[in-house]
Amino acid sequence: MWLLDRDLWTEILNTLSKNMFRTFLTMLGVFFAMIILLLLLGATNGMSNSFDKIFEGTSSNSLFMWSQQTSEPYKGFERGRRIRFTTDDVELLKKQIPEIDIISPRIQLGGYNTPVSVYRNGRTSGSSVLGDYPLIDEVTKKNIVEGRFLNNKDIEYSKKVCVIGQEAYEQLFDKGEEAIGHSIRVNGVFFTVIGIYKKNENIDIDGDNAVFIPFTTCKKTFGGGNQVGFMAMTIYPEYTVPPIEAKIKKLLKNKYSIHPDDERAIGSFDMSRIFNSVSAFTGVLNGFSFFVGIFTLLAGIIAVSNILLITVKERTKEIGIRRALGATPRVVKRQIVLEAILITVFAGLLGFTLSTAILAGANVIFEGMENVPITNAIFSIPQFLISFFLLVVLSVLIGLIPANRAVKVKPIDALREE
């Protein structure tokens, strides 16, 4: 197998290394093209990572739903009727809509419906108070910095415990003051702080001026019957959210005798919509940079071919000598194609190494910066493999041009004395 022929490779390596300057020039094109391609890919990947970070902690297939007032008269009801979801609705949805993975009801104190005061040692924080199940943590992840989030025991025993946001903490406590194990008052009722969370970087629906208390405690302590203000859901990833959203609304509209076209009675927010538009954007960006990068690479390889073509002309005499000494056209072609491959592969690997180093360096620098929308910029292994595969295939194809040129000149013409 000639591919493993050590002599062949020695001959090629010799030719390349003894013509260092020529080899170097030839390599430059591919080297820079590879760097540009990989940096482009790395940068766009870094940008998509940044976008992903925005959604970090929020399940992409999540749906939030709450009740409002009707805007259409229907079945003898006048418009403006206040709809109130109840825990029965939660059970209904669990039963009737199998596409729902998690459903977590919430009661909200404060805001425009019920006034709430959060108080400690003469300070108030103006926080909203949310009666939640621990499940909410799986829909929008709470970034706990101290202590823990609510758990099932808190729900079961309706414990008077709370998890507070960073801002609520700052409003109620002195800087550095211990909060865990200490109490705050919600509408005059003492709650022990068991955890502090920091809000997620970018998208966070609840913010960090909030106090989370167990759903059951909230109901027992502050009343409100079986009403539910808000339902957070996640849909199994194999489904898309909008049709399920419609299905849920239809079910609830039917139950509450809401006009089918009433858009206002039930409010909802579909996180996947934003998520999808951003992923579509990064997808396009990725495709575009790959496209640009591949063309850069192509340009680099054409440059190699060009230089090889020039050197083949320069080497007419050498090639003529080799052929007079018994090199068959096939052997001559093979050598030139392999030279092309070796140059591009080597230059490609150098480019790969350097761009990896550049990206690694850039990542270290950008990590400390808030405003650079690039996170962990690196090309993926498949991206690299595809680029590399293309590089080799193209270099073979394009190496054939100078190779054919090399054997077109008859040895006698190559050797003719001037």
Partner 1 sequence: MIEIKDLHKSYKMGSNSLHVLKGLNFNIKEGELVAIMGSSGSGKSTLLNILGMLDELDEGSYTLDGVPIKNLNETKAAQYRNKFLGFIFQSFNLINYKTAVENVALPLYYQGVNRKERQEKALKYLEQVGLKEWAGHLPSELSGGQKQRVAIARALAAEPKVLMADEPTGALDSQTSYEVMDLIQKINDDGNTILVVTHEPDIADMCKRIVHLKDGVIVEDKKVDQVRASQYV
Chain residues binding partner 1 by CB under 8 A are 6-7, 10-11, 14-15, 18-19, 317-318, 320-331, 407, 410-412, 415, 417
Residue 336 CB, nearest distance to partner 1 (Å)?
A: 15
Q: Are 266 and 103 in contact (CB under 8 A)?
A: no
User: Nearer to partner 1 by C-beta: 15 or 375?
Assistant: 15
Residue 317 CB, nearest distance to partner 1 (Å)?
A: 7
Q: Are 162 and 212 in contact (CB under 8 A)?
A: yes
User: Nearer to partner 1 by C-beta: 274 or 331?
Assistant: 331
Q: Are 73 and 87 in contact (CB under 8 A)?
A: no
Q: Is 106 helix (H, G, I), strand (E, B) or coil?
A: strand
Compute how many other C-beta atoms are within 10 angstroms of the C-beta atom of residue 351. 26
Q: How far is CA 412 from CA 193, 320, 339, 347, 416, in A?
A: 95, 7, 24, 35, 6
Q: Which residues of 260-280 are buried (b: 16+ CB within 10 A; e: fewer)?
A: eebeebbeeebbbeebbebbe
Compute how many other C-beta atoms are within 10 angstroms of the C-beta atom of residue 143. 17
Residue 324 CB, nearest distance to partner 1 (Å)?
A: 5
77: DSSP letter: B
User: Nearer to partner 1 by C-beta: 391 or 406?
Assistant: 406
Rounded Cα gap, residues 306 and 231, in angstroms: 65
Helix ranges, 136-270 (H): 136-139, 152-156, 166-172, 215-222, 241-255
User: Nearer to partner 1 by C-beta: 159 or 322?
Assistant: 322
Residue 37 CB, nearest distance to partner 1 (Å)?
A: 33
Residue 340 CB, nearest distance to partner 1 (Å)?
A: 18
Residue 396 CB, nearest distance to partner 1 (Å)?
A: 21
User: Nearer to partner 1 by C-beta: 177 or 314?
Assistant: 314
Residue 338 CB, nearest distance to partner 1 (Å)?
A: 15
For 93, the enclosing helix (H) or strand (E) is: helix 87-96
Q: What are the residues facing 183 on neighbouring strands?
A: 192
Residue 31 CB, nearest distance to partner 1 (Å)?
A: 23
User: Nearer to partner 1 by C-beta: 6 or 75?
Assistant: 6
Helix ranges, 261-328 (H): 271-314, 316-324
User: Nearer to partner 1 by C-beta: 94 or 410?
Assistant: 410
User: Nearer to partner 1 by C-beta: 11 or 101?
Assistant: 11
